[in-house]
Amino acid sequence: MKSVDAHLADILATVRPLAPLELELEQALGGTLAEEITSPVPLPPFNNSAMDGYAVRSVDIAQVPVTLPVIDDVAAGSDELRAIGPGHTMRIMTGGPLPAGADAVVPVEWTDGGTVSVRIDRTVEVGNAIRHAGEDVPSGAVVLEAGTVIGPAQLGIIAGVGRRRVLARPRPRVVVLATGAELVEPGLPLGPGQIWDSNSFTLTAAALEAGADAFRAPTVGDDPAAFLEQLDAQLLRADAVITSGGVSMGAYEPVKEALAPLGTVRFEKVAMQPGMPQGFGVVGDDQVPVFALPGNPVSSFVSFMLFVRPALGRMRGLPAGPAETVTARVTGALRSPEGKRSFLRGRLDPGGEVTPLRGQGSHQLAALASANALIVVPEDVTDVPAGAEVQVIRL
C-alpha cells in the first residue's frame, strides 16, 4: 500500500500555484498577493485632528480658563483653510485638516462648546490630539509583502493607499461532486435504502474554509457516463474538482469506472484509516486536478484535511505541507491496524489532554461532528496506552 506521505508528495508535485490576476478589491478577499503594495502618499496624507474640539496655538491657552474667538469651522474634508493667528481658535472635527498656525487640539469636553467664542478650561501640550502626516505610513513605504493572504484588514490598507485592483492569486474555484444512487437532497423525504447527502456539504464548507471559492454541483447516481457528463460541465468553472464516493471495490463505482480509463487519474490504496481508497490525477485540456475521495463521510473529510487542504494551499501560492500536529496526552487506550496510519476522532482540551470519542467508524458522522481533533497513530503502532503522548491534528 502507498504511504500517506507518498500520496501527499504526488499530489503536491502535480498541483501548481494559480496564475496571478488583476483582481478588483471586491474579488480580492482570500487571494494571495503577487506584488508588493506600497503607498504613493504618506498616511495620513495631512496633519489632522484626532478629536472633535478646537484647534489652538498652545501658547494662547497657557493660562486657563481663557475665552478666545472662534474664527472658523473645520470639518473632515474641509479645504482652503485660513491660518490661525495669535489668540484665535477654530472649531475642528475628527479628521479635519489642522489649520496652519495651530499646534494642538483641545477636546470639546474641556470647553464650553462655544461657536462664536469658546471658553477653554484646560491647557494642552503641543501636538495634543493631532495625527501627523505619515505617522501611519511614510510615503513610498511597503505596506504589504507579496505572498500575504488578503483578509479584511489587508483589503483596508490596499484601499487605504488608493488601489482599486491588485495582482493576486485568486481563491481556487473548487467544484464538489458527490456520487451515489442512494443519495437524497436534505429536506426531501428518504425512500427505502436512501440516505441524505452530507459529504458534499462538508467538503464544500471545508474547501471554503481552506480559502477556496467552492461550489456544490448536483449529485449524480452510479452511472459513469452521467458522472462524466456532469464533470465535463463543471470543468469550465473549476481549478480543482473534489468527488465523493464510487472509488472502492464494488460493482457500482462510477468515479473509478469513468476516470481510471483516462489514464491520468490513479486509484490506489493508501495506508491509512479512514480513507484507504483514494483517486487523484488531472482531467481535461487544462489538466484540472481531481481528488476522488472515498464516500464514507469520515473518510472523505479526513482525506480532505490530509490531501486536499495542502493542495489548495499550494494553489493559493502558500507554503504547503502535511497537516500540522501538536502533542497531546491521550486519556484512553487506542487501537490501530498494523501498517496503517490512523486518524481517530477526539476532543482536545485546553490542558493538552485528548479524549478519544465513541464511534470511530468511517460512517459515524456524529462523533466527527463532536470532535475537534484527529489523533494520529503511526503505521508501526497498534496499541496506545492511556496516558501516552500522541500527535493530534486540530480541526
Ligand X SMILES: Nc1nc2c(c(=O)[nH]1)N[C@H]1C(S)=C(S)[C@@H](COP(=O)(O)OP(=O)(O)OC[C@H]3O[C@@H](n4cnc5c(N)ncnc54)[C@H](O)[C@@H]3O)O[C@H]1N2
Q: Shortest approach of ligand MOO to residue 9 CB, angstroms?
A: 20
Among residues 329 and 358, whose Cβ is nearest to ligand MOO?
358
Please state the closest distance from residue 339 (CB atom) to ligand X, in A: 14
Number of residues written out for the chain:
395
> What DSSP designation does 43 have?
B
Cα angle, residue 344 at apex, residues 338 and 347 outer, rounded to 5° = 150
Asked whether position 248 contacts ligand X by CB under 6 A, the answer is yes
Q: Of 149 and 183, which CB lies nearer to ligand MOO in the complex structure?
A: 183
Q: Which residues bind ligand MOO (CB under 6 A)?
A: 273-276, 294, 296, 299, 362
d(CA 241, CA 350) in angstroms, rounded, equals 36
Could you say which of 96, 295, 313, 317 contacts ligand X (CB under 6 A)? 295
183 near ligand X, rule: CB under 6 A: yes
Please identify, using beta-carbon distances, which residue of 138 and 339 lies nearer to ligand MOO.
Answer: 339
Task: In whole angstroms, give the CA distance from residue 237 to residue 282.
Answer: 15
Instruction: Indicate left, alpha or beta for 287 from its phi (over 0: left) and psi (-120 to 50: alpha).
Output: left
Q: List Cβ neighbours of 368 (8 Å cut-off, separation of 6 or more).
A: 297, 298, 301, 345
Among 37, 35, 48, which Cα is nearest to 93's? 48
Q: How far is the CB of 294 from ligand X (least distance, A)?
A: 3
By rule CB under 6 A, what count of residues binds ligand X? 27
Looking at the Cβ atoms of 275 and 356, the one nearer to ligand X is 275
32 binds, options ligand X, ligand MOO, none, Cβ within 5 to 8 A by partner type: none
134 φ, ψ (degrees, to nearest 5): 80, 0
Residue that the C-alpha cell 470647553 belongs to: 111
- Site membership for ligand X, residue 195 (CB under 6 A): yes
Q: Name the residue nearer to ligand X (CB basis): 104 or 276.
A: 276
Half-sphere exposure of 359 (CA within 13 A, CB side): 12
Candidate list 31, 180, 281, 313; residue touching ligand X; CB under 6 A: 180
Among 60, 103, 197, 239, binds ligand X (CB under 6 A): 197
| Residue sitting closest to ligand X (CB) | 295
Stretch that binds ligand X, among 123-131, 164-172, 177-185, 352-360 (CB under 6 A): 177-185
Q: How far is it, in rounded angstroms, from Cα 163 to Cα 376?
A: 45
| Cα gap 307→325, rounded to integer Å | 15
Q: From 7-15, 85-93, 294-302, 307-315, give the range in contact with ligand X by CB under 6 A.
A: 294-302
- Return d(Cα 59, Cα 324) in angstroms, integer: 60
In the complex, the smallest distance separating the C-beta of residue 264 from ligand MOO, rounded to whole angstroms, is 23
The span from the CA of 253 to the CA of 116, in Å, is 84
Q: Which of 277, 281, 346, 356 is the binder for ligand X (CB under 6 A)?
A: 277
Burial 49-71 (b: 16+ CB within 10 A, else e): bebbbbbbbbebbeeeebebebb
Return the residue matching grid coordinates 496510519.
341
Which listed option, ligand X, ligand MOO, none, makes contact with residue 373 (CB within 5 to 8 Å by class)?
Answer: none
The reply on whether position 265 binds ligand X by CB under 6 A is no
Residue 257 near ligand X by CB under 6 A: no
The only residue of 15, 55, 98, 178 in contact with ligand X, by rule CB under 6 A: 178
Q: Which residues bind ligand X (CB under 6 A)?
A: 178, 180, 182-183, 195, 197-200, 244-250, 253, 274, 276-277, 294-297, 299, 362-363
